[in-house]
Amino acid sequence: MGIAFVYPAAANAQWRYAEQVKTYSISGTSGIELYSSIGENGPKVGQHVRAVAHTDFKLTWSRNYVPQVDGGCSLVSARPNITITYVLPKPVTALAPELQKKWNVFLEGVRKHERVHAEQIKAMVAEIEKVSVGLTVPADPNCSKIRTELTSKLGEISRSRVKSSQDFDKIELSEGGNVHQLILNLVNPR
C-alpha cells in the first residue's frame, strides 16, 4: 500500500519529484512486542538484515546531448525524474493509549531519520545535475564518448552518497544514537 505525494516545485523547476510511503504490518500489545515484530517483518536491507524503516529511490533522466559544430558533444540539459519511497512499520491493531503515545514518538523519530536519507538523495541528484549540464567532450560527433565520461562521474557521486548514508546510520544506530534512543524509549516500560 502506498501514498504518493507530488512536489512540482522541487529544488529545481526542471525536476519531477514525488514521494511515496509504503507500510508493512506489525503486531503487539507492548513496545517490546512491536519491536520484535519489526525485527521479523521489517524491510530487508542487503540479503539478511532487517531494518526498522528504509528509504529507497528510483531516478531516471531526460538528457539532451547535442553534437557541436567542432565535432564535440555537449550535454545541454538533464532533467531528473525522482521518486523517493519510504517503507515504515504500521501496527495492524489499535494500541492502548499509553503505548500509542510511545508509538507516535517512535514513528515520528523514524520518519525524521528517513527524511535525512531523502535529503541525501536529493543532494546527490543536484550534484549529478551540476556535473552533467554543460559537460562537453571533444571529438565525439556521435555523442558516445560523453556518455562514458558522464557514467564515470556519476559512479563517484553515487558511491559518495552511499558512504554518507552509511555513516549517518552508524551514528544514529550506535549506542546512544537517536534511533537507538527511540528504540529504548519504545521497548522500556516507564
Do 160 and 168 form a contact (C-beta atoms < 8 A)? no
Instruction: List phi, psi (to 5°) of 156.
Output: -65, -45
Q: Is the pLDDT of residue 11 over 90?
A: no
DSSP state of 15: -
Kindly report which listed range (11-15, 63-67, 132-136) carries the lowest average pLDDT score: 11-15
What whole-number percentage of the chain has pLDDT above 90? 87
Please answer whether residues 28 and 38 qualify as being in contact, where contact means their C-beta atoms are separated by less than 8 angstroms. no
Q: What is the mean pLDDT of residues 32-40?
A: 97
Is the pLDDT at 59 greater than 60? The verdict is yes
CB atoms within 10 A of CB 174: 11
Helix (H/G/I), strand (E/B), else coil: 8 = coil
